[in-house]
């Protein structure tokens, strides 16, 4: 059931796609007609160019909006990292989070001094592009 609803949420509706492509095809036809009528009737050609560009613009906008919605739903969650440190010699390792990890947990002995190491941090790093940027 969940799979079915996931598909309906992440898929671009075929009806929307059909409308987009019909609009796009009509707009392209208008542009071609405008090109042919340019020398014989510049007024009609002007109107057709306007109609064609508005049609292409609208259909591209709707398509991009629909794609953006799908991309947003499929957004991957940033990986979570575990930092392990040796309190004695300061040796530090970083690995992917594993179930059972928690901050201040004592883990395997240090590779350098054989002292027990400890998990000092578990975090996710937000990519620079995903961070908020403010002008103020």
Partner 1 sequence: MIVSASVAMLQNQLAQNPLGDNPISWILNLLFYGVFIVFLFYGQRIQLYVMLREVEGSLYKLRHIKDEGRKTAIETIKEIGKPQTDPTARIDRFLEYFTISPQNLDPAGVVWKLEHILDVRDVRLKDEVKMMAPSADETQTNNLENTLEAAMALNYIFKVIRHFYLLGKKTLSLYVIMQIQMLLPLIMREAEAYASALKAFAFGQPIGDGAGALVAGRLMHGYETKKLPKDCVVATVQIEGRTAYVIKAEGPGGNVGKPGDAIEAVIKQNKGKIASVIMIDAAGKLEGEEVGEIAEGIGAAIGGPGVDQFKIEESILKYHIPINALVIKEDIGDAVSPMRKEIIDSIDKAIERVKQVILERTKEGDKVVIAGIGNTIGIGQ
Binding site for partner 1 (CB under 8 A): 1-2, 5-6, 8-10, 43-44, 47, 69, 72-73, 77-78, 80, 97, 99-105, 121-126, 132, 134, 136
In angstroms, what is the minimal distance from the CB of 25 to partner 1? 20
b/e 5-32 (16+ beta carbons within 10 angstroms → b): eeeeeeeeeeeeeeebeebbeebeebbe
Nearer Cβ to partner 1 (39/72): 72
- The closest alpha carbon to 81, from 96, 100, 91, belongs to 96
Tell me if 114 sits within 8 A of 83, measured CB to CB: no
Query: CB of residue 54 vs partner 1: minimum separation in angstroms?
Result: 13
User: Between 19 and 73, whose beta carbon lies closer to partner 1?
Assistant: 73
Kindly state the tokens that stand for 46: 């002007």
d(CA 79, CA 81): 6
Rounded to the nearest whole angstrom, what is the least distance from the CB of residue 22 to partner 1 in the complex?
A: 19
| Residue among 91 and 97 whose Cβ is closer to partner 1 | 97
Shortest gap between Cβ of 125 and partner 1 (angstroms)? 5
Q: In the numeric block, which tokens belong to residue 104?
A: 């201040």
**In 10 A of CB 3, how many CB atoms?**
6
Residue whose CB is less far from partner 1, 100 or 129: 100
């Amino acid at each position: 059931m969940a799979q079915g609803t996931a598909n309906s949420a992440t898929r671009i509706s075929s009806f929307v796609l059909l409308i987009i492509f019909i609009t796009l095809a009509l707009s392209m036809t208008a542009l071609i007609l405008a090109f042919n009528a340019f020398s014989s009737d510049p007024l009609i050609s002007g109107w057709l160019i306007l109609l064609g560009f508005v049609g292409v613009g609208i259909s591209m906008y709707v398509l991009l909006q629909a794609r953006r919605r799908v991309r947003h739903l499929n957004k991957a969650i940033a990986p979570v990292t575990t930092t392990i440190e040796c309190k004695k010699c300061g040796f530090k390792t970083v690995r992917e989070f594993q179930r059972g990890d928690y901050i201040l947990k004592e883990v395997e002995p240090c590779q350098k001094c054989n002292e027990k190491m400890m998990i000092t941090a578990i975090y996710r790093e937000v990519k620079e592009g995903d961070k908020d940027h403010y002008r103020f």
